[in-house]
Amino acid sequence: MEKDILVQESTESKALAKRIIAVALVLVAAALLFALFNAGSAAGETDAGAVQGSVKMTEIDLNSMLDGYIDEVLVSEGDHVAKDQVLLRLDADIVQAKVWEAEAALGQAKAGLAQAEAARSAAQAVLTKAQNGARSEEVTQAKAQYDYAAKSYERMKNLLADGAISQNTFDEVEAKYLAAEAVYNEALSGARGEDIDAAAAQVQQASGAVEQYQATIKQAEAAVAEASSYLEHAEIKAPADGTVTAVNVEAGELVSTGMALASLRADDAAWLEVNVPETMLGKISEGQNVEFTLPAYADQIFRGKVTNVSQNPDFATKKATNENGAFDVLSYCVKIQPEDMEEQLYAGMTVLVNFNAGDEQ
């Protein structure tokens, strides 16, 4: 009995000791977390104005507006090129054929327009003559032809009566006589109303043909311009001075519209981009002077100026935090232009920007 009591007391002592050790461990862990929190807060206060970002440069992808085969690749990665320098050429035989086809259609349309304008001029002349009547010299000429036909008719009528000519011969002379008489009478009286209307209709019809050919010419000219534009795009040119950063195709390769053929980094001045939390926006403004450092150039401090503070948050880098209470902190993109910097910058370089340091300049 006494032995059992001693065993029970020993077990309870061990359990108590374990509980004491557990509590002690919890207190130690809490103390460590508190110390780390205080250290982090102190560090945050020390670097409150410093934000990490990167160096940015203008990167241009060169695409094709045509489907076809690469004829020539004239540059290599790393080459420095000038604006409008030809970098690649596509096989332009098919496009050239379309240009010639469009130019041929344009030539046909212009020829058709010339014919239509000539027909309109002729119809207008007929209409003018019908409206104004015959001129005096035309009346005189018509009378002379009529008098000659009348004399021939009387003479042939007598010969027919004597049996000296055939009936067919006489009929031909009579037909000429009647025609000359009609021409002479028309010259005297002028054109009839229906003749004037017919001539006016011919003018209107010819004018319609002219307008149609004019429209066709405009369409043909547009087709020529479009085909010529595609022909120009058979040459891929540098849009700016810069360095070729990638060549994605080789001669003989088949490419499609929109495919990235090469990439170019423009020689424009580099800039810095940092995403700052919204809690810092009250300390940042356009035109503000800042200082920044680059790991590539240790122990050097550079200066720059804020050129733009984005008005829209960068939701892609949105991060949840409880540092300022139970709300999320958004980030905003800030662009900075380096000033008086001779060192070489490369796209993507890491940069640490100090927004507070610039206030002391």
Instruction: Specify if 55 maps to a domain.
Output: no
Instruction: Specify if 53 maps to a domain.
Output: no
Domain that holds residue 71: 60-90+235-266
Could you give the number of structural domains in the chain?
A: 4
Domain end (from 206, 232, 258): 232
100 in the same domain as 216: yes
pLDDT at site 35: 45
Instruction: Specify if 42 maps to a domain.
Output: yes
Instruction: Specify if 52 maps to a domain.
Output: no
* Position 141 confidence tier, pLDDT thresholds 50, 70, 90: confident
Cα–Cα distance between 255 and 241 in angstroms, integer?
A: 25
224 in the same domain as 122: yes
270 close to 246: Cβ distance less than 8 angstroms = no
218 in the same domain as 162: yes
Residue 294: count other Cβ atoms within 10 Å of its Cβ.
Answer: 20
223 in the same domain as 104: yes
221 in the same domain as 99: yes
173 in the same domain as 127: yes
Kindly report which listed range (26-30, 96-100, 241-245, 326-330) carries the lowest average pLDDT score.
26-30
Instruction: Specify if 137 maps to a domain.
Output: yes
Cα–Cα distance between 207 and 119 in angstroms, integer?
A: 9
Cα–Cα distance between 258 and 37 in angstroms, integer?
A: 53
- CATH code, domain with 338: 2.40.30.170
- CATH code, domain with 150: 1.10.287
> Which pLDDT tens digit goes with each residue over 158-193?
888 888 888 888 888 888 888 888 777 776 565 556
187 in the same domain as 123: yes
Query: Region 241-260: what's the mean pLDDT?
Result: 90
Q: Is the pTM of this model over 0.85?
A: no
- CATH code, domain with 79: 2.40.50.100
> Which pLDDT tens digit goes with each residue over 118-135?
888 877 777 776 666 556
244 in the same domain as 164: no
182 in the same domain as 157: yes
Q: How far apart are the first and last CA of the chain?
A: 87
Residue 284 has pLDDT above 70, yes or no: yes
> Positive or negative CA dihedral for 216, 217, 223, 226?
negative
Instruction: Specify if 54 maps to a domain.
Output: no
**C-alpha R_g of the chain:** 49
223 in the same domain as 103: yes
Instruction: Specify if 139 maps to a domain.
Output: yes
Adjacent-strand bridge partners of 132: none
Residue 325 has pLDDT above 60, yes or no: no
Query: Region 325-335: what's the mean pLDDT?
Result: 80
134 in the same domain as 36: no
pLDDT at site 361: 47
Instruction: Specify if 148 maps to a domain.
Output: yes
Degrees to nearest 5, angle at CA 285 with 284 and 286: 140
162 in the same domain as 279: no
Residue-averaged pLDDT of the chain: 79
